[in-house]
Amino acid sequence: IMDLRRLLALALIGAQAAALRSPAVHTRRRVLGKAALALCGSPWAAHAAGENVITKDEAKILKAGMISRYDEPGQETEESLRNQEIRRQMAAAVKAKASEFETKVAAVEQATTEGAFVSAADELGKYITFESRVPEGVKVPELVKRLRIAKNGARVDKKGQPIKNQLPQKRISCGPGVRSDVKCFSPGAEAEAAYLALVEEIRKVTPMLPQATAAF
């Protein structure tokens, strides 16, 4: 076994040494494969010497020389400048959408009456329906959690203390199957319906993935 390992190591060293003279760039895995073929006496062995391998540090040097070459001051081309402007416009559009969406979500959270909650939830639902999606980067489970907490009037500050002026909750009957010592509350039938309708709109535009459906 030791002789086999020694022969494989010698074949690999030979392949890497010859690789330094070749302009082609391939992965270390491919060179290892060629070295193994050389060890076995394969007719592909001669081709192994023509392969090249670069280290991780060498790859970083090459990458640094290739990226943003035309984006350096004084070296821009018309195409690179046009692409930069397109990227800036796209980033600005994404940021604007995210800001508009967050404003509507915050309106739902900050509602202090049932009517205000219903109105804000309807506006957010219409926005989602019109866009046919939630903005890029929005995590659906966290979004639904925020809306549910707002509906239940259970928002807290960074210290974990209840926030004042939240959506009022009314004592309701818990219904059958609930222990008598459990107290149930609701912001009202209209608020409950508005919340369910909003969640349904989110569900419609959300890919049916485990991390998404877990929120509902």
pLDDT along the chain (216 residues), means of 10: 56 55 48 52 49 65 56 70 87 91 96 96 96 90 95 92 93 87 92 96 78 52
Query: Contact at 8 Å (CB) between 98 and 137?
Result: yes
What's the CA angle centered on 27, arms 21 and 31, to 5 degrees? 65
pLDDT tens by residue, 27-41: 555 555 555 555 455
pLDDT tens by residue, 10-65: 555 555 555 444 444 445 555 555 555 554 555 544 444 445 566 777 676 666 55
Quote the pLDDT of residue 26.
47
Full-model pTM: 0.60
- Closest-CA residue to 110 (of 121, 100, 99, 101): 121
Quote the pLDDT of residue 10.
59
Quote the pLDDT of residue 17.
54
The residue ranges of every structural domain in the chain are 2-71, 99-213
